[in-house]
Structure 1
Amino acid sequence: MTPFGARADTLYKPGDWPALAGDRVATATGDTLTVIVYENASAQNAAQNDSRRRSDVDGQIVAGSAFSERGQLGLGGAFESGGQTGRSGRMVAQLSVTVEEVLPNGDLRIAGRQSLKINGENTVIRLRGRVRRVDISPANAIISSRIADAEIDYDGKGFVSSSARPGILAKIFNFLGL
């Protein structure tokens, strides 16, 4: 039998032992994490254009004392345009996601999906992103503004969403520019 020595760094690794007291937070692949989605975004864009131009030509022809002609020509144009767009959106939700991968720097790659069916309306929320462990609260939750590379998708299907889509006549008029 060959004796071998035990070293302290092989017996205890901090990441392998849970705390004796405290809540368990997501640290490994397969762990779940609660995401509190609170997104409130708005954007506006406005453009104004004003262009004016005027050109004048003036001339006179004199031929002897009895014949004289005077002519004048003026050209001008004006153009004004403007446009404004605006968009706003708000989303509040809470869903559980799963840790898909622990990255070399310790960040967690997360993904999750939640499906709801209310009164015939199907709603799906999908979320993907990257989370720093220090941003996870002791309650094993994180707010969506702390998720890097966040992809949050909210989609609905049913009577309400289908009635909000334009009909065939509206599509034809829109295509024709009417």
Structure 2
Amino acid sequence: MKTGAKIVTLTLIAAMTAGCTAADRLSQVGKEPPLTAIQDPRTTPGYRPVQMPMPTPEPEHYNANSLWRSGNRAFFQDQRAKRVGDIVTVVVTIEDEAEFDNSSQHSRSDTSNVGAGGALGTAIDTLALPASTTSSALASVDSSANFNGSGSIDRKEELKTTVAAVVTQVLPNGNLVIEGRQEVRVNYEVRELIVAGVARPQDIQSNNTIDSKKIAEARIGYGGRGQISAVQQPRYGSQVLDIVLPF
């Protein structure tokens, strides 16, 4: 498919998508953004159980005439999350700061000359070239290129909040797969916080909380949807042009 046809196809697809989105937005004029219904995370599209390398299972040892509960970390029953469906509070703490400054410079020049001498040069001078031109300099090619690039990043991010997550899976080694979603609607804007990952039962505190820094394969998302978020996004036409235009 030629480039022009590709651009037309992408433009039509973007126009159809924009039309569907515009219709949805028009149906919500004057209304608050709807909240997502509570559902089992395992039933959402794209959900896949987590599979990770597991150690060799070790048999449990029981002591006769003992009041100690097998598998507990305290004398009394443990109230911390440990089974599918249990709830654990995740303390999200993100303090990220990065600063980079890079620059690059490239230059190149090239000169080439093509000519002919001897009997061949004499024949060319006599038969093919004008009187003011000689075959010793038939062609001369000069080229040069210069490139200067620079970039800098100065970023600082900070997020502190808590969210309750549900244990969706218990791995063979006892680690817990957790996933939590929180939505808060203020006026016409919905803020979403998503937390997912793998947690060790040993990292869960006695008050049934765990720090987000101790969650392996952590996936933390914080964003929003509504009137303010829609205004902050470029129009669909601008986004399509930024993708398809080569210059």
Give the TM-score normalised by structure 2: 0.53
Q: What is residue 54 of structure 1 aligned with on the other side?
A: 110
Distance 2:206 2:66 in 1: 28
Q: How much has 1:30 moved relative to structure 2?
A: 2.1
Q: How much has 1:92 moved relative to structure 2?
A: 2.4
Q: Report the secondary structure of 1:117's partner residue.
A: strand
Q: Which residue of the other structure, out of 173, 198, 201, is the alignment partner of 1:133?
A: 201
Q: What is residue 20 of structure 1 aligned with on the other side?
A: 76
Unaligned runs of 5+ in 2: 1-62, 118-133
* 2:136 pairs with 1:81: no
Q: What is residue 188 of structure 2 aligned with on the other side?
A: 120
Q: Report the secondary structure of 2:194's partner residue.
A: strand
The alpha-carbon distance between structure 1 residues 76 and 142, as it changes in their structure 2 partners (threshold 3 A), is same
Q: What is residue 234 of structure 2 aligned with on the other side?
A: 166
The alpha-carbon distance between structure 1 residues 82 and 117, as it changes in their structure 2 partners (threshold 3 A), is same
Amino acid at match of 1:79: N
Distance 2:165 2:236 in 1: 39
Q: Report the secondary structure of 1:153's partner residue.
A: strand
Q: Report the secondary structure of 1:110's partner residue.
A: strand
Q: How much has 1:91 moved relative to structure 2?
A: 2.8
Contact 2:114 2:140 in 1 (8 A): yes
* CA deviation string 1:48-81 (max 9, x = no partner): 240222326599x9xxxxxxx8979672413213
Distance 1:146 1:8 in 2: 36
The alpha-carbon distance between structure 1 residues 28 and 176, as it changes in their structure 2 partners (threshold 3 A), is closer
* 2:90 pairs with 1:35: yes
Q: How much has 1:116 moved relative to structure 2?
A: 0.4
The alpha-carbon distance between structure 1 residues 8 and 45, as it changes in their structure 2 partners (threshold 3 A), is farther
Distance 1:97 1:126 in 2: 9
Two-structure CA RMSD over aligned residues (Å): 3.8
Give the TM-score normalised by structure 1: 0.70
Q: Report the secondary structure of 2:162's partner residue.
A: strand
Q: What is residue 210 of structure 2 aligned with on the other side?
A: 142
Distance 2:72 2:211 in 1: 26
Distance 1:50 1:9 in 2: 79
Contact 2:68 2:75 in 1 (8 A): no
The number of residues matched between the two structures is 168
Could you say which structure has the higher strand fraction?
A: 1
The alpha-carbon distance between structure 1 residues 87 and 128, as it changes in their structure 2 partners (threshold 3 A), is farther
Distance 2:99 2:170 in 1: 35
Q: Report the secondary structure of 2:71's partner residue.
A: helix
Q: How much has 1:168 moved relative to structure 2?
A: 5.3
Unaligned runs of 5+ in 1: 1-6, 62-68
Could you say which structure has the higher helix fraction?
A: 2
Distance 1:86 1:97 in 2: 34
Distance 1:9 1:82 in 2: 75
Identity over aligned pairs, percent = 28
